[in-house]
Structure 1
């Protein structure tokens, strides 16, 4: 019965094109489709996200994302001693099931909030599983403006691996001392860990201002090993969450601001494709994941849309 429910959860319950036609015919949703006047780019809302994590300090807001192991089976069947970078790890809802599923995977995880990183460490410490803490290395970083630290993949090793050079924006800040813990996991004879085999961007890029997204994609490309995979999952265009926003909350094309000041972008396939191919990745998979679910509290049916993607760095 459990396997049947999981299979049903991951199936496509409806076609995205049908939802698009439905939205375009609904007069009450026209404000989502109207052209948006050109304006200055929205600043990074990193402080708003820090306040958000402070309010949800119990760590209960995000549930453990066990479905990712079925969505991205490469995480389960990868080789031993694999390095993974989780960008925007939050309270650890993504890294916890990964660490549980694979005993020889090392996870390096960053976020802009020191409070949420400490909460992630606390949750892993109480997960009642062997060796989770020893394989989890969090570090503080606003990745929308700061580069990944050199100990992930130093410039010399990037050059030797024929990594794509980064075109840093004018407000780029190199991050040298962002770890919450020491670097004792780094061998004395190594200048860096030599890059990562996987990068997970799970409901992370939608919180990044549009004008910063290409920098994040380029930065991810730089620390990924040749042949490595970037695994992407985020809000899709016309997701139920998007359609619930009021006209005054729309601050750009497919961009909305919540009452707490945090931003959310809703992706089309073309935007995701252009973003990662522009950074040098090869597209392996890219599709809308369209799922119907029922709100347990009020019984209302919900149509959820996510973008699922797998991209590879050329070998």
Structure 2
């Protein structure tokens, strides 16, 4: 909250993802990773040559014990490795280069990642079995003979799973692991830059989505509960300086080795080893390595800061827009929500495009437009005046690029860009001056009601910007299109009422428990074309039509602060 009562719509850093988005993220994760690998192929992550340095003694011992017996490349005689979450082979190919007698089962739930492994020039079916599998709900023993695996690796994989499913994953691995088999793990530790960035950006799918604490107690107990002994566990630290970007990154990762528990010795002690910098580490139960190599590939654009932009084509009622934005798979790992295309914006833009007469000669303002601004672009084809507003300077800078890129698509009217943090009266006045202080006929908002603290200020700002109703003219409206996330409908309607707005219509209309909608077909009259089809295709999107009750429209921020 600013000193003037203004508030941005972006979530506070301590927020958790809602239950709806948590379920949706897990449900759609495979799709997003497929899109990621489609875009980046095998060029994004670096090969992990440090694996043999960290765990080389395990592989060497196993390989040497089998060397004398191996006469041919017979998978039944080779040491067997299972890599869970293999990606595009950044671990398995370097390992096979160093230990050519290994046989590797490599699984990932991204079919595209697995296809890239199979297309690799060093892919050899005599040494690699790559297959698609979601280890959180698919039985590994369907693909791999039971009790046949010597080692299983979880390299930056466990932290990508919700904690409720981690025990199931360890049970799954246990089915295919030999009685003396090992699980080797490397992942983010609490305090790592990537983990902190995730925690600070509304990323916490649940409280233990990552390896928590300093990581060791949670991880040890997790494996112990599923019948594993801890042979080694450490947290490593390193400060990495990127001189080109003039940034310093604190990296912390956890590394452990677990074996199946000996039922005759279940009280086996676990080595307690303090965290220390790489430069000081000794072989206290840890495979010693002089390497200071840190795998930074996992944090790059996928897990840190603002990822790289892409230009995508967004089709709105047959009109194609070129939009520079953040890829959609980052919607749960990037704080900059205003830098990507959201479903509600596409729905609202489609309705506006199919019913252009609704906007003819009107003054239009878009609230929280983000960097995409497709609703403003569509409105500019017929409206008399269009102003796109947002409280984030990065979003507005990118919006200017997108408007320039698509200028020919909405050449009828210029789209004006104005900063607006909701509740800031000075900025509201600047925006309203575009109408000679008369206010706007149509106010648009898509996916702008997901932060509870911002919703009252949204309606207060809308009240200050909406035009007064005049006899003989269509009454000004506020159209909000959204997917219900952190904020339920009852709260939105209550905030609207406190600012003098009433819900005149909504779509779809089959919402139970809503009794204060005026009997009206206003949305059907505003959008005679495409209304049914749009919401049939996007069944989680909702559209509200608000009107201001006929009363004094002065904004009193003190009543909502």
Same fold (TM > 0.5) = yes
CA distance in structure 2 between the aligned counterparts of 1:133 and 1:299, rounded to whole angstroms: 45
How far did residue 62 of structure 1 move? 1.0
Are the structure 2 counterparts of residues 247 and 115 from structure 1 closer, same or farther at C-alpha, using a change threshold of 3 Å? closer
CA distance in structure 2 between the aligned counterparts of 1:116 and 1:135, rounded to whole angstroms: 18
Q: Does 1:135 align with 2:127?
A: yes
Are the structure 2 counterparts of residues 309 and 204 from structure 1 closer, same or farther at C-alpha, using a change threshold of 3 Å? same
Match of 2:46 in 1: 63
Q: Does 1:274 align with 2:221?
A: yes
Match of 2:95 in 1: 98
Q: Which one is further off, 296-305 or 246-255?
A: 246-255
CA distance in structure 1 between the aligned counterparts of 2:166 and 2:20, rounded to whole angstroms: 16
Q: 1:28-177 maps to which residues of 2 (within 5 A)?
A: 42-43=22-23, 45=26, 47-57=28-38, 58-73=41-56, 74-79=58-63, 80=66, 81-123=78-120, 125=121, 127=122, 132-150=124-142, 152-154=144-146
CA distance in structure 2 between the aligned counterparts of 1:206 and 1:55, rounded to whole angstroms: 18
- 1:216-269 Cα offsets, whole Å, 9 max, x none, are 0111122110111100011111110122243433343254xxxxxxxxx24321
Match of 2:186 in 1: 233
Q: Which SS does the other structure have where 2:22 is aligned?
A: coil
Match of 1:208 in 2: 161
Say whether the 8 Å CA contact 2:237–2:251 is kept in structure 1.
Answer: yes
CA distance in structure 2 between the aligned counterparts of 1:244 and 1:55, rounded to whole angstroms: 20
Say whether the 8 Å CA contact 2:140–2:172 is kept in structure 1.
Answer: yes
Q: Does 1:244 align with 2:228?
A: no
How far did residue 38 of structure 1 move? 10
- 1:195-229 Cα offsets, whole Å, 9 max, x none, are 10000011111111111011001111221101111
Say whether the 8 Å CA contact 2:80–2:102 is kept in structure 1.
Answer: yes
Q: Which SS does the other structure have where 2:181 is aligned?
A: strand
Are the structure 2 counterparts of residues 244 and 37 from structure 1 closer, same or farther at C-alpha, using a change threshold of 3 Å? closer
How far did residue 290 of structure 1 move? 1.1
Q: Which SS does the other structure have where 1:77 is aligned?
A: helix
Match of 1:177 in 2: none
- Please list every run of 5 or more consecutive structure 1 residues that lacks an aligned counterpart in the other structure: 1-30, 155-193, 256-264
Q: 1:177-192 maps to which residues of 2 (within 5 A)?
A: none
Say whether the 8 Å CA contact 1:99–1:132 is kept in structure 2.
Answer: no
Are the structure 2 counterparts of residues 85 and 247 from structure 1 closer, same or farther at C-alpha, using a change threshold of 3 Å? closer
Q: Does 1:313 align with 2:310?
A: no
Q: 1:269-308 maps to which residues of 2 (within 5 A)?
A: 269-308=216-255
Q: Which SS does the other structure have where 1:45 is aligned?
A: helix
Are the structure 2 counterparts of residues 82 and 214 from structure 1 closer, same or farther at C-alpha, using a change threshold of 3 Å? same
How far did residue 112 of structure 1 move? 0.6
Q: Which SS does the other structure have where 1:217 is aligned?
A: helix
Are the structure 2 counterparts of residues 151 and 39 from structure 1 closer, same or farther at C-alpha, using a change threshold of 3 Å? closer
Q: TM-score, normalised by structure 1?
A: 0.66
Match of 1:3 in 2: none
Q: TM-score, normalised by structure 2?
A: 0.38
- 1:28-52 Cα offsets, whole Å, 9 max, x none, are xxx87x6979968933625334323
Higher alpha-carbon Rg: 2
Are the structure 2 counterparts of residues 141 and 106 from structure 1 closer, same or farther at C-alpha, using a change threshold of 3 Å? same
Are the structure 2 counterparts of residues 266 and 296 from structure 1 closer, same or farther at C-alpha, using a change threshold of 3 Å? farther
CA distance in structure 2 between the aligned counterparts of 1:241 and 1:85, rounded to whole angstroms: 26
- 1:77-104 Cα offsets, whole Å, 9 max, x none, are 3233201100110000111111111111
Q: Supply the RMSD in Å over aligned alpha carbons.
A: 2.6
Match of 1:253 in 2: 207
Say whether the 8 Å CA contact 2:162–2:205 is kept in structure 1.
Answer: no
CA distance in structure 1 between the aligned counterparts of 2:252 and 2:155, rounded to whole angstroms: 14
